[in-house]
Chain A
Amino acid sequence: MNRKLIKRRGDTKWLVERSGKMHVDGVIFGSEQLINEMDDMVVQQVRNVASLPGIVEGSFAMPDAHWGYGFCIGGVAAFDADAGGVISAGGVGFDIACGVRTLHTGLKKEDVMPIREKIADALFHTIPAGVGSTGKLRLSVSRLDEVLSGGAKWAVENGYGRGDDLRFIEAGGCIAGADPAQVSEHAKKRQLDEMGTLGSGNHYLELQEVVEIYDREAAAAFGIQKGDIKISIHCGSRGLGHQIGTDFLKRMTTDAEKHGLELSERELACAPLNSALGKSYLGAMRSGINCALANRQILTHLVRQVFEKLVPQAEIRLLYDVSHNTCQQERHTVGGKQKDLFVHRKGATRAWGPEHAELPIEYQKVGQPVLIGGTMGTASYILVGTAQSERLAFGSACHGAGRNMSRKAATKKWNGKEVIGRLASQGILIRSRSLRGIAEESPGAYKDVSEVVEVTHQAGLAHKVAKLVPLACVKG
């Protein structure tokens, strides 16, 4: 990154000074190394977001920020509806409520290692993954509307899980204010046979071992011990979310002029929160969040089926489920006053500090689990939200590693079979139908997730709790 574009304001904080049409300053969190690797376009996109009407406090970029669509990936921005604030389809992205769910298994490494191949194979055969895959569930449009209103709560009520699961999901597994009537027929049609599917690309289901504990108190509250086996699921709202993004991006672009909005790039497509279009998107996007929450709940049910068969002593419980592509209505303190704001997190994870009302009682004292996925060859991390995070960036943290190499370059550099072989020699089993997909997702094509997590910790956005490494990974 061109250093002339930013000013250093601490070890991990960089300022994009307010100028031109910007209403607020921009703030980028990063180490010297991460800032060096960051694209200049991150600064431009931070500036563009800072120029949107009704933005409050600042336009933020997390340590894993990279060039995105409209908002940078890793972008966080809050808007005040009463001050003409906007909601942006580009600020949420196409994979609405893509996120991570981590599960306890009650098992230790020694319990799974003798049957690890069997578990990997069974998960691979049970979890629908990859291009064109469908779930077992076939829904009518009216039944899908119930999913979009009910989220994971719908899934549990329909036999895909236990009531206690819901306490460990953001918003209790169901976002209020979803309005399935705002979701197009096209979007619904894409989802009728895609509930309970993983998708492809960077989505995965991983069997992981906890190898390091950094924060004993938070780890104890979350139920994490060294040597534990956890399962993490990374996926989103599938075809429904993609189509909602497509539909509203177009509508918001077309109507921008009518709303008096000057878009510096079309992907910044947005509408005033108080406009009919803004409200319509909010209802549709919340339906997308519920779709993703139900999807991860059904996948959890499938994981339970596999373990009931193979390791009956396993006890699959939720550690937490948190999305990283959303816009959520939240109460924050701004200038000493409490305000209802609409916080966009595009490739950023919500990170509530201790004593937040939304947290389950077990986590109240320590804060919210922040689940950070790595690549299939590197570590994942569990962090915890901090009280400080609320003041830094509306209670937000990073979301993952982020690519540093294009898919095309990755396939030129690696081949799928070699990647699988190399990972096997490191003790990581890969199950996928796509060798090209594996080459494209090669761990070397991603940034160093450990550096991203370290900087997130140093900046106080969230604190490190545990490190997990993959033992087996199902990829789409």
Chain B
Amino acid sequence: MVWQHFHHQADIGIRGIGDSLEKAFEEAARGLMAVICSPETIEPKEAVQIQCEADENDMLFADWINALIYEMDVRKMLFSRFEVRIHNHQLSAKAWGEKTDPEKHKLAVEVKAATFMELKVFLDSNNQWVAQCVVDV
């Protein structure tokens, strides 16, 4: 399981890879946090519940990333641990994190939204799930 950032001229691509759809979504969430700060600086002190629903996996992924962006913005929090369950196109997740602290978290940039650019969720040739999109910063 791994997260990656991929190249985009103006913004940045996030990609999660895992042996299940859920793990790929969790890894991509870590990739999202790494756009904003170093994920290892975020302590998983507090949990937030997240629910989304979409007919297609890729739209569900965009919804998941956008839900995290919303929770970060409204709660002024960052997250480092994720537990995702997906059943019948419904995502139910828990994200653990803490309040944003510019000194502690050495923040780089806020993320405005998940875009549909390079938005893909698929099983790769190694039988690994990949979930990715470009985020607007």
Contacts and interface: CB of A to CB of B under 8 A. Distances in A.
A242 interface: yes
B98 to A, nearest CB: 11
Interface in A119-154: 130-132, 134
Interface in A262-283: 265-267, 269
Nearest to A73: B10
Nearest to A433: B102
B33 to A, nearest CB: 11
Interface residues of A, number: 47
B110 to A, nearest CB: 4
Given A406-B7, A406-B8, A69 B136 contact: yes
A436 B76 contact: no
Interface in A382-420: 402-409
Contacts of B62: 250
B47 interface: no
B112 A242 contact: yes
A39 B107 contact: no
A199 B136 CA distance: 13
B108 A242 contact: no
A68 B116 CA distance: 11
A470 interface: no
B90 interface: no
B115 interface: yes
B107 A250 contact: no
Given A68-B10, A434-B102, A131 B110 contact: yes
B100 A132 contact: yes
A130 B107 contact: yes
B36 interface: yes
A131 B100 contact: yes
B12 A408 contact: yes
Given A94-B136, A249-B116, A407-B109, A402 B100 contact: no
A433 B134 CA distance: 25
Contacts of A269: 116
A460 interface: no
B119 interface: yes
Contact of A69 (B7, B76, B117): B117
Nearest to B12: A407
Nearest to B58: A266
Interface in B36-66: 36-37, 59, 62-63, 66
A132 B70 contact: no
Contacts of B76: 132, 134
